[in-house]
Amino acid sequence: MSEHLTGDLKVIVFQLQDEEYGIPVQQVRSIEKVQHITRVPRTAPYIKGVINLRGVVTPIIDLRKRFGLQELEITENTRIIIVSKDDIEVGFIVDAANDVIDIHSDIIEPAPEVVGSVEVEYIQGVAKLDKRLIVMIDLDEVLETGNIRAFQGV
């Protein structure tokens, strides 16, 4: 378990397929409706391209593709969650952004070997809340910062 998961966490909960995932609020800059994404040649398959977000070129990752899930058409509920890590801003395409909740770190358990269909390397832990299971994603692993850093010059 990572040291930074202590005490109460405010978490943005989002949906991919039938699972709920969480990202700590302090790592989320904004939640946006999907806008035009410009493709960028020779990038990893899960990188959809870039958007111009308030004058900033922001790389967009399709989290379904990143996690090896089947891609979906964009719907009214589809959102782009803009996250920030080490001065890098990146957008995640998710099926829906559900809500913001408080999670106490005590209820976050280490990730089992497989969580649904997402590989354990992307997962920091699983929070059990009443009847909900919220998979806490590990931003460092999902972003693989080296891959994304190349975009900052795009």
List, in sequence order, every residue forming a beta bridge with 91; answer none if it has no partner: 60, 82
Q: Which of 15-29, 37-51, 107-121 has the lowest mean pLDDT?
A: 107-121
Contact of 137 with 122, CB cutoff 8 Å = yes
- At position 132, the amino acid (one-letter code) is R
Tens of pLDDT, residues 44-96: 889 999 999 999 999 999 999 988 889 889 999 999 999 998 888 999 999 99
How far does Cα 59 stand from its chain's mean position? 13
Question: In which band, very low, low, confident or very high, does the pLDDT at 153 lie, cut at 50, 70 and 90?
Answer: very low
Residue in the structure block whose two tokens are 């990038």: 43
Helix residue ranges per DSSP H, the chain: 63-66, 139-143, 145-149
CA distance 14 to 99: 7
Question: In which band, very low, low, confident or very high, does the pLDDT at 114 lie, cut at 50, 70 and 90?
Answer: low
Structure token digits, residue 51: 């958007």
CATH architecture of 8-153: Beta Barrel (2.40)
Of 37, 6, 9, 2, which Cα lies nearest the Cα of 100? 9
- Domain spans of the chain? 8-153
pLDDT of residue 117 exceeding 60, the answer is no
